């Protein structure tokens, strides 16, 4: 089953221009990295995929499930895991409670949610902080709670909005290991500005600019766009080539 956007248009209320217009895209299998300048529409796209926003026209589908149909909504939201850019501490909850709560909201029983939360916290190396109030965590620790909240239920596709923003180098490396350990058949989309983090871990690179996909290809194809012989930062050069046409 695939997550697809079919002729999706979306404009924020009171915003003069749409972010996406007749946008059609099928999330490819494997791991996809979503790049693009500030304001390109990456977060909006992932939120539409997560059914946190609704298209003004067109539709989003996961296989036969369409979140705008009431009878499909719960199953759709269970199937699609989303880590938003902003992770909020739920007042009064401890780390494991917040992660278990996220699982319970996705339909796990209390017992299943509690056990799954312990596993997810191990995956993001937060077991030691399981008893801490989430409101006392650092920004990077809270992002790992956000990641655990996505891993806690068995989503069939993962949409991760800047999951490594604010993480220290060790935690970024750990995130890459985590990504590598996910079942390869489960599609994962990771939006990021850290082009230097690109590794062969990703099967597909997508560059979104002004609501339009400017590039889709493998990491090797992406890197191939960097000017020959060029520079210490080939990924940045390739990126600049796509979004500004610079050489």
Ligand X SMILES: Nc1ncnc2c1ncn2[C@@H]1O[C@H](COP(=O)(O)OP(=O)(O)OP(=O)(O)O)[C@@H](O)[C@H]1O
Residues engaged in binding ligand X (CB under 6 A): 12, 15, 19, 36, 38-44
Cβ proximity to ligand X, 132 vs 193, nearer residue: 193
CB of 221 to ligand X, least distance (A): 22
Cβ proximity to ligand X, 38 vs 128, nearer residue: 38
CB of 223 to ligand X, least distance (A): 21
CB of 210 to ligand X, least distance (A): 9
Cβ proximity to ligand X, 93 vs 165, nearer residue: 165
CB of 113 to ligand X, least distance (A): 30
Q: Tally the C-alpha atoms within 13 A of residue 27's C-alpha that lie toward its C-beta.
A: 32
Cβ proximity to ligand X, 15 vs 91, nearer residue: 15
CB of 164 to ligand X, least distance (A): 13
Cβ proximity to ligand X, 103 vs 211, nearer residue: 211
């Amino acid at each position: 089953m695939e997550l697809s956007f079919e002729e999706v248009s979306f404009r924020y209320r009171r915003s003069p221009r749409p972010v996406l217009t007749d946008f059609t895209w099928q999330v490819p299998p494997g791991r996809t990295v979503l790049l693009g300048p500030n304001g390109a529409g990456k977060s909006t796209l992932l939120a539409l995929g997560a059914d946190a926003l609704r298209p003004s026209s067109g539709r989003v589908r996961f296989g036969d499930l369409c979140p705008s149909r009431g009878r499909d909504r719960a199953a759709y939201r269970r199937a699609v895991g989303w880590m938003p850019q902003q992770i909020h501490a739920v007042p009064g909850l401890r780390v494991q409670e917040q992660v278990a709560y996220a699982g319970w909201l996705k339909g796990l029983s209390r017992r299943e949610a509690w056990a799954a939360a312990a596993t997810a916290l191990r995956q993001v190396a937060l077991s030691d902080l399981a008893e801490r109030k989430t409101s006392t965590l650092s920004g990077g620790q809270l992002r790992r709670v956000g990641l655990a909240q996505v891993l806690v239920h068995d989503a069939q596709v993962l949409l991760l909005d800047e999951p490594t923003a604010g993480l220290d180098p060790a935690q970024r490396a750990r995130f890459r290991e985590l990504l590598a350990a996910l079942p390869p058949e489960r599609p994962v989309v990771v939006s990021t500005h850290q082009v230097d983090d690109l590794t062969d871990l990703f099967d597909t690179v997508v560059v979104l600019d002004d609501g339009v996909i400017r590039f889709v290809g493998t990491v090797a194809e992406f890197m191939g766009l960097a000017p020959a012989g060029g520079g210490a930062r080939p990924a940045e050069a390739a990126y600049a080539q796509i979004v500004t046409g610079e050489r």
